[in-house]
Structure 1
Amino acid sequence: MQLFPFLSFLLACWSAHLSPHQSSVVETVDGPLQVGEMGKTLIHEHLLVDFIGAKEYHPDRWNRSEVIHRVLPFLKEVKALGIHTMVECTPAFLGRDPVLLRELSAASGVQLITNTGLYGAVDNKYLPAYAFTESADELAARWITEWKEGIDGTGIKPGFIKIGVNPGPLSAIHEKLVRAAVKTHEASGLLIVSHTGPATPAFEQLAILSEAGIPAKAFVWVHAQVEKDKSMHVAAAERGAWVSFDGVAPGNLKEYLALVQNMKKHDVLERTLLSHDAGWYRPGEENGGDFRGFTTLSEQFIPLLLANGFTESECELLLVKNPATAFGR
């Protein structure tokens, strides 16, 4: 079903009015892409995630051909629904595999974006040993090198910075990760996408950005739906941060409708991002485990928005313009 009959027209008009001073490029696994070519975008998904932990982690734990066989049909499915781009949020030491992503992109036609950074959530289980001893400057130097030269000798460059923190106040090591991300952003312009959850660590991270003179628009509050006080979502958006409601699933559509309605009510829909946080091929599980597809937004949630007073232009804002504005540099 064609959900946005004026998609091409609206996107062309928006792209044509980009300021010459406004950044307009995003890095995909196939190289730089003009943001006007991103199209409908899923901003937070996972094709493969390995939960074994950094101490035992090794990319030999999965076979790329087997992963492609399992995952490719799901990508072709969303491509047929009009999704052009997917932001793959699996970080280093959790299953980030840029070569796998490049092969899946070529086979599916879906433009994929990978990341640099480190994930400190889950009490640092996925942090390598060097994360505990190196300074924020040293960590940032690693991430900046990936941005400049590519990841692990592949030549594939990250399109954003992915970090993760625990739900409570920032620990010393998580504050270090944030500061490293800020330094990397200063050098690269890459968006900081932070697994966060509740408001407390979100606003602590925004304070670190502010201290460094970095605008809040450089930060995505990931899993903001975990925070039940909707006024916090509005407050972050009014500061300029991106507020990401990224767990859309068939069983929570009314909950997410209320979240997005609240953002619209307070005129901050232009700072709102949506996705599924779906997928999750798991090495070590038979056939990669229970892989969840990426169709709920297109097939169920956008029609629900339209049935509840949202316009096609507003849906276009959520799935096309906002992702391009957020990830472009």
Structure 2
Amino acid sequence: MNQISRRQFLATWGAAPFIAAIEPADPPYTYSVQGKIPVSKLGTTLIHEHVLVDFIGAEKISPDRWKHDEVIAKVLPYLLEIKQRGIRTLVECTPAFIGRDVSLLKKLSERSGLNILTNTGYYGASDNKYLPKWAFTETAEQLASRWIAEFEKGVEGTGIRPGFIKTGVNSGALSELHQKLIWAAAITHLKTGLTICSHTGPALPAREEIEILKTSGVHPSAFVWVHANGSAEELESVGRSGCWISLDGVNADNISKHVDWITFLKNKGRLGQVLISHDAGWYRPGEPDGGEFRGFTTISNKLVPALKAQGLTEADIRTLMVANPAKAFAISIRKG
């Protein structure tokens, strides 16, 4: 995609004058796979998890590769397990062409009693293996029109609407193709108010993504830096933009690292921008019995007690797991 100026972008999309403030949704809401829901009803939320992921590639993937009954039998006990621990919402981050199955998610939501959010968008990380062929040739505007249509009409004829945008980039400087994905996400946000969650990793591509969003007129508070990584100082530095810092790789072996990151960010006044999750799961089509499944309980069982041992309060935990997700995923056009 050729670089375009802020003036050209705004002229094309004809938005009202941009202001630094966020335009709040009134009342704040999002969409789960069961329909519109006030974000005040999301409760304790895991903001980045997976039910099913199929790494076969965009050209070969098909919903015929898995059966709903078999996936539900495997996954439902893990969802009931976190519900017993007080989790009320799971943000399911599997994009299209890697195993997104919104009808499956609706069945799991109905049977578990959990709110489940799904997404629109395309995933360019892993060197573009999971991008449909038209992602290489269409413009950012054309890609965005596909994502906007999913928001307005529902995904694949189901009527199920996405609650956020999911995209992904490689870990280095953004390629021209990955820049296009972020421009498309910006266009989609300005039309829908959906939050942009981008698989990113290091600070370098995160900074570049944020610059594209700012050029497009999107405030960084509409951006979730997925798989945020680096030193605590880098996390805080990128966080000065106003983006969400997603510490979403919690597992039993890295509790102390996450405690250090979170306490550092709290001391720097950034706790209100931190999101936490496991990036766990998932049913794996093609493997016996869906393969090995990593559950979603480490935060409840290990991280939260460790944070409290370091002096974080119940109010701090509520900020991380209730207030921040509600703000991050509220559908609201955020200009700046």
Name the TM-score, length of structure 2 as normaliser. Answer: 0.91
2:329 alignment counterpart: 327
Preserved contact between residue 242 and residue 273 of structure 2 (Cα < 8 Å): yes
2:203 alignment counterpart: 199
2:293 alignment counterpart: 291
1:250 alignment counterpart: 252
By how many angstroms is 1:20 displaced?
7.6
Preserved contact between residue 150 and residue 162 of structure 2 (Cα < 8 Å): yes
2:57 alignment counterpart: 53
Q: Deviations over 1:280-311 (max 9, x none)?
A: 11000011111000001111111111111000
2:309 alignment counterpart: 307
Q: Does 1:139 align with 2:143?
A: yes
2:271 alignment counterpart: 269
Preserved contact between residue 27 and residue 38 of structure 2 (Cα < 8 Å): no
Preserved contact between residue 236 and residue 242 of structure 1 (Cα < 8 Å): no
Q: In structure 2, how many angstroms separate the alpha carbons of the residues matched to 1:23 and 1:192?
A: 20
Q: In structure 1, how many angstroms separate the alpha carbons of the residues matched to 2:203 and 2:236?
A: 11
The 5 A counterparts of 1:97-136 are 97-136=101-140
Q: In structure 2, how many angstroms separate the alpha carbons of the residues matched to 1:175 and 1:208?
A: 8
Q: In structure 2, how many angstroms separate the alpha carbons of the residues matched to 1:147 and 1:114?
A: 11
Q: Deviations over 1:119-150 (max 9, x none)?
A: 00000000010100100000000000000000
Q: What secondary structure does 2:46 align onto? A: strand
User: Which runs of 5 or more residues in structure 2 are unaligned?
Assistant: 1-22, 332-336
Q: What secondary structure does 2:311 align onto? A: coil
Opposite residue 277 of structure 1, the aligned amino acid is D
Runs of 4+ deviating beyond 3 Å: 19-23
1:160 to 161, 164, 173: 164
Q: What secondary structure does 2:253 align onto? A: helix
Q: In structure 2, how many angstroms separate the alpha carbons of the residues matched to 1:169 and 1:23?
A: 38
Aligned-CA RMSD value:
1.1
Q: In structure 2, how many angstroms separate the alpha carbons of the residues matched to 1:298 and 1:65?
A: 28
Q: In structure 2, how many angstroms separate the alpha carbons of the residues matched to 1:137 and 1:217?
A: 22
Q: In structure 2, how many angstroms separate the alpha carbons of the residues matched to 1:20 and 1:205?
A: 23
Q: Does 1:24 align with 2:21?
A: no
Q: In structure 1, how many angstroms separate the alpha carbons of the residues matched to 2:118 and 2:25?
A: 25
Q: In structure 1, how many angstroms separate the alpha carbons of the residues matched to 2:25 and 2:305?
A: 35
Higher relative contact order (CA 8 A, sep 6+): 2
Identify if the C-alpha distance between structure 1 residues 86 and 210 changes in structure 2 by more than 3 Å, giving closer, same or farther.
same
2:97 to 74, 90, 93: 93
Q: What secondary structure does 2:197 align onto? A: strand
Q: What secondary structure does 1:281 align onto? A: coil
Identify if the C-alpha distance between structure 1 residues 21 and 62 changes in structure 2 by more than 3 Å, giving closer, same or farther.
closer
Q: Does 1:79 align with 2:83?
A: yes
Preserved contact between residue 144 and residue 184 of structure 1 (Cα < 8 Å): yes
The 5 A counterparts of 1:182-221 are 182-221=186-225
By how many angstroms is 1:73 displaced?
0.2
Q: In structure 2, how many angstroms separate the alpha carbons of the residues matched to 1:163 and 1:21?
A: 23
Q: In structure 2, how many angstroms separate the alpha carbons of the residues matched to 1:203 and 1:237?
A: 10
Preserved contact between residue 25 and residue 330 of structure 2 (Cα < 8 Å): no
Q: What secondary structure does 2:305 align onto? A: helix
Identify if the C-alpha distance between structure 1 residues 112 and 21 changes in structure 2 by more than 3 Å, giving closer, same or farther.
closer
By how many angstroms is 1:238 displaced?
1.8
Q: In structure 1, how many angstroms separate the alpha carbons of the residues matched to 2:233 and 2:27?
A: 30
Name the TM-score, length of structure 1 as normaliser. Answer: 0.92
Q: What secondary structure does 2:240 align onto? A: helix
Q: In structure 2, how many angstroms separate the alpha carbons of the residues matched to 1:23 and 1:286?
A: 45
By how many angstroms is 1:261 displaced?
1.0
Opposite residue 137 of structure 1, the aligned amino acid is E
Q: In structure 2, how many angstroms separate the alpha carbons of the residues matched to 1:216 and 1:190?
A: 13
> Structure 1 vs Structure 2: percent identity of aligned residues?
52
By how many angstroms is 1:21 displaced?
5.7
Q: What secondary structure does 1:87 align onto? A: strand
The 5 A counterparts of 1:228-247 are 229-247=231-249
1:35 to 35, 39, 48: 39
Q: What secondary structure does 1:130 align onto? A: helix
